[in-house]
Every structure is written in C-alpha cells, then in structure tokens.
Structure 1
Amino acid sequence: MRLITTALFALCIISASAARAEEMSFRVVGVNSGGCGANCPQVIAAQGEIGEATPDAFLAFVRENARGGNLHGIVLLDSPGGKVVASMELGQAIRKLGMAVIVARPAADQSRTMALVSGRCYSACVYALMGGRKRVIPPESSVGVHRMFNYSTNFDIAEGGFVRQRNLDEGGMLQTLSRYATMMGVSTELVKLAERTSPDKLYMLTGADIARWRLGSRKL
C-alpha cells in the first residue's frame, strides 16, 4: 500500500456540521488528481463510533480493498470516540500498516471533485489517531480529550433493580495509555491532561497543543 503524497491532495477543507454518531464504518473514496479518471488514487474514510469489533472490521476492509492497486495508505478519520481499548487496537493496526491519518471526512462539491470536510476526533478517538505514521489535524477540524471511563451494570435492591454505574480509572489506565502514547511517539503530557479533564466535558486541543505534544501537524 502506497502512502499518498501531499501533492495528490488538490483538496480544500470546508466547515460542516457533524452528523449523528453511528458505529464506525469504512468506505473507499477517490481523490481527484488532475484528470486521472478511473486510475485516481483512493483512500479509506472511517466514520462513526469505535466499538470492540472495529479493529477487526478495519483490517478485513483493508484486505478486501487493497487488491485493486489504487488504494493508498491514508485514513480519513471522523469519530466521536468509543471504546478506549478498541481505539488503541485500531491505532496499532493503522501503525502496523504504515498508514497516515487525517482528521477529516470526504465530500463532493458541485463540480464532482473531492473535497475534505472538517472532521472531529473526540474522547477515545485520539488513541486511534495516535496510530497514524503521519497525523494531520487541519485547522478546521477538531480534537477533544477527556478522562476515560467505562460502565458496569449492578443489581441494587434499594434502587429497585439493575443500575448502570460509571467507573473511573484509578491509575492503571493512565499507565497503559501513557505507554501506548510513548510507543506512538506522542507526549505522555497529552494523556495526563486528558485524565485530568472531567469525563463530562471535552478539552479541545489548540494548534499549540497539537504541536507541543507531537500529536500531529496542521498541514497536509
């Protein structure tokens, strides 16, 4: 799989409202590259919430679609988050394949040429983003982080039945996420910031944050 060059992206980034989140799905989209016709390079668009089955679904999708010869090593990522362990597994799969990640999603303008629409990568999605061999967060796109948590269901007689309870990490996940970030070349300070941020809100990363913590670049 080839890593597409910046020159192939004769694309613009435009603002757009985010759609309601659904389970992550994948599709191949063509990139207009100056009259290439049927031979235009293709990239993968990944949109939706990252679930436990997402990493395997991604690998299966790549195997199925890499046979045509025009698929390049780029993932357009747009996600509200999801399962943190699955997000790390997706990031590891992306890194193993040597793919780049751009926080954006595809759209076609009225002239039928490809454009990139502003995307988002929130919550656990940032750990999938870390897997990119090269990571690009255009200025119009956004990345937000907060403390990781999970849910458990317990039976409580006093509450009259089953109760869903949110569980916050007591330190073990911080260590796991920090080791993962180090492996991906991202500063552990980003993980520490995320784990200090309330799970009920997002800390939106600035361009300075993205550069300082080596999460990626603003430019294609």
Structure 2
Amino acid sequence: MVVSKRPEAIAFTLLFVRRFMTIRLGFLASFCLIIVSFFLPLVAAIPTAAAAQAPEEWPMNFALVRSGNCKEICVQWISAEGKITADTPKRFKELLKSLKGQKLSVVFQSRGGDVDAALSVGRMIRAAGLETAVGRTQLNDCPMMVPRCAEKIVRDGWSEGEVRAGAAYCFSACPFVLAGGRVRAAATNAYIGLHQITNGPNRQDTGRRNLDEISTKADPALKRRLSIYLDEMGVSSDDVFAMMGLATPEGLYYVQSAEALKSGVITKVFSYADEPGDVVRGTGLKTATPSPVDSDSSLDLKKPDYMCHIVNQAYVNTRKTAIYRETVNFVEPSGLRLLVEGLRTASGAFEKWGSQSKWARGTAPHAVEGYPRFTSCTYVDGGEGPHFRAYWHNRYPSQTASADVWLTPDIQRLSKVVRRFPTDDIRYPSKTLLATMDYDVARAVAPSVEDLVQ
C-alpha cells in the first residue's frame, strides 16, 4: 500500500540529511535542512492526494443554481453532475419534493453509471414535466480544476454560478436520464456518448467489435427494458441501439447533433454560448434610462452586463431564425415611413427598399459571433413583452445609438427595436428607426416570380 511507504520515505529523507551533515560543510548542511523542511509536508500529503476521487467519479448530487440578480432577471436551473448510483433516484425525489411543483430545467454532466437508476430518474423527470439539457455548471469562487466544488453548493438554498452548454458531456447511462426531459437540449459541440450493451468478441487486428456478432452475448432483459423506456420517452430505440452498435468494445460512439435530433435523444440544439436553464423575472425590477448618446458618437464599447447577455442572445437567435419578416421604418412627426422590408424564407432572403414595388433577392442578416450588439442594458417593464433600454452598436460602418428593445414573451428573440441616432450621424435623414419582427410563417413567404425584380 502507498500509505505504508510514508515512514520509509521520511526515514530515508532524514538519513540522507544525516549523511550529508557528517560532512563538515556548514553551508551545505543548512541548505539540505531547508530543502527537507520544504519537502517533508509534500511527502506526507502524497497518499491523501492519490486517494482522492476525481469530481466526475463522485456520486451524482443535485444543486439549485442561479446566475444573475433574481430580483430583476436571472437564470435558474437544477445542476446534476457526477456518477449515477443506486442512491440517485432517492436524492432526486427529495429534490423534487423541496421544489413544491416549481418547474426548472435539469442540466446534466455525467459519465453515466447505474442504468436502472437512470431510467428511474428519467421517469420522475417526465412525470414532473421538466426539461433537460447537457451543460456544465461553474460555481462562483470554485477552483478551475473543480468548477463545481462541494463547499460552494448551498444545501436547502440557491448556489451561485454560471452554466454553459458548450463542451459539456453526457455518457453511457446519462443519455437515458436526459431522455426523460419534455424538451431535451444539447450544444453542437457538447458530447453525447453511447456504448455497447453486449459482450461479443473483439477483432484482435483492429480492436473493433465484429458487427456480425454484436448480439452473441447480449442481455435481452436489459435491452427489452431500454426499448420500453425509450419508446415511453419518444426516442427511437432502433436508432439508439444502432448507434450503440457502432461503439468500439471499450469505447463510446459520439452522437452527432443530426443523429441526436433524428433519434429523439435531443429535441433542441444550443449554440456554444447558450445557457441552459430557465429565465426568471423578479418583481424588484429597476427602471432607468441611459444617458443620451453623445453628439460625437464616441461612446466606449462597454462590457455587457448580465441582462445584455439575454438581449444579445435574443438578437443572435433572431438572426438564426430560418423564417421571419422584418420591417424597418423611419419614425417621423407625420408617422412611419418605410426604409426597408426584409423576408427570410425557406427559398432564401428577399428585400424591398423604400417605395420599390418589387422584391429583390438579398443576403440574410447574420449576427457577428462574439460582438456585443447591445451594451449597458436595463430592464424597464413587461407591458408589451420584456422591455430593455440599452446602447446599440454597429461595427461596419461604426455606429452607436440609444435603443429600446422588446423581446418575445419567452425572451428568446427580438420583437421590436427602436434606435435613436445622434444628430451628427448623417447616414439617416430621420434619427429614429423602428424595426419590428414577425415570426408568423404565413406572412414570411417567398414572393412570386411576378413580384421579383428581373
């Protein structure tokens, strides 16, 4: 055992020092004593460090986590990380009881574990009507190597942290518990891994299983239980078993987003920066108006605060929407005057400027990744939907405007944006623009050939 070597290691070190001290070199002896005094604690600590489990091997535990100021607006979720064990269903049942009917998304990161326990938790999630996602939780003030450290998990209360969909993982039995969600989501660069449930022989030359012998030592009872469960959850058991069969004997098959969507393992795809969880609006919302935009348009690009993350994500989601209609008008004393109307359809993008009577093919607008379109955001009210005041920025050409932004009721996309440009911005004769978005697919159809510019 490693522990039994500790006294020997210490004795050897002391013997080493004693041997050198017999040499009448005072400086060298003092130097050795300093070195020994530094390394003895490390020698004593080695067995403890070696015995510690990696965080991913800890039994799965659940934590209520939030990000942001929930008196105004924040994201809340149930963080579920660690190894699924026979005790996991009991822990989850206790958590559900403490929620008293509150519905929060369950965000998983796990290498798997007990299959029967995973099926039990998945059924509890479905019965409670909860959503699930693959995501990694980083609690505030936890070390980098242990981002969800136990000492920062608040018992019977809310822990503080952040959650990210990108680079999270869900392996082995974890996809089965993920399947319990009414809505199931993962990022394009998250990792969902399945492995074989049979013990067929390996091919010695490649290390891969002979696909003709994949069922030679299968567990029929387990396969039957999985098939029943997956069918209950609306997941294709045939697709899942086929993907399992593609795994190497000792490895995993990593499910691609298209495969996960087709099979029903997930029903929604996140971008890398998306935050799984539920947006909650509080009752103590601040109301404020940003200072007017300086006449020289020289505002610094401020770091987006938390509410700006919500607004910017809604902007990105809007630009990624496949079908919608956008109308931009000048706001003038006499009323609205059309600047441009845009269509994004299954047949491509179209635009119609000013008084033009026909549509022209155009380029669909897109969000610049990593560029904060809105900064200095303040929540105003929810009268016409979630309403924020902020600063709007454009990179090329460089522009800045004060803005009022309304989001859709689910806070996922833009509904309406009013931009007020400084008086020295000569690009627009009218300094106020109103953009409205219409997501009704019936009103976002491609124009006929007769209505297109030839």
Check the 8 A contact 2:109/2:135 in 1, yes or no. yes
- C-alpha distance in 2 between matches for 1:38 and 1:62: 25
Task: Indicate which of 73, 82, 85 corresponds to 1:48.
Answer: 82
Check the 8 A contact 2:64/2:79 in 1, yes or no. yes
- C-alpha distance in 2 between matches for 1:77 and 1:88: 14
Q: 1:116 to 1:192 in 2, by over 3 A?
A: same
Q: 1:218 to 1:36 in 2, by over 3 A?
A: same
TM-score (norm 2): 0.36
Task: Indicate which of 164, 169, 175 corresponds to 1:116.
Answer: 164
- Give 2:292's aligned residue: none
Which has the higher Rg, Structure 1 or Structure 2?
A: 2
Structure 1 residue runs of 5 or longer lacking an equivalent are 1-17, 151-167
Check the 8 A contact 2:137/2:161 in 1, yes or no. no
1:5-154 equivalent positions in 2, closer than 5 A: 19-32=55-68, 35-37=69-71, 40=74, 42-64=76-98, 66-67=99-100, 72-107=103-138, 114-116=162-164, 118-148=167-197
Check the 8 A contact 1:123/1:148 in 2, yes or no. no
- C-alpha distance in 1 between matches for 2:219 and 2:132: 31
Q: 1:213 to 1:86 in 2, by over 3 A?
A: same
| 1:87, distance to aligned residue in structure 2 (A) | 0.5
1:73-107, Cα deviation, whole Å (9 max, x unpaired): 20010110001111100100111111100100222
Percent identity between the aligned chains? Answer: 28
1:183 aligns with 2:219: no
- Give 2:269's aligned residue: 218
Task: Indicate which of 230, 247, 251 corresponds to 1:201.
Answer: 251
- C-alpha distance in 2 between matches for 1:218 and 1:40: 21
Query: Quick one: higher RCO (CA 8 Å, sep 6+), 1 or 2?
Result: 1
SS at match of 1:218: strand
Check the 8 A contact 1:177/1:191 in 2, yes or no. no
| 1:108, distance to aligned residue in structure 2 (A) | 5.6
1:212 maps to a residue whose letter is K
1:119 maps to a residue whose letter is A
Check the 8 A contact 1:174/1:191 in 2, yes or no. no
1:161-208, Cα deviation, whole Å (9 max, x unpaired): xxxxxxx64322112111110110001123312542345110000011
CA RMSD in angstroms comes to: 2.7
- C-alpha distance in 2 between matches for 1:21 and 1:143: 18
| 1:63, distance to aligned residue in structure 2 (A) | 1.5
Structure 2 residue runs of 5 or longer lacking an equivalent are 1-53, 142-159, 200-216, 271-275, 277-454
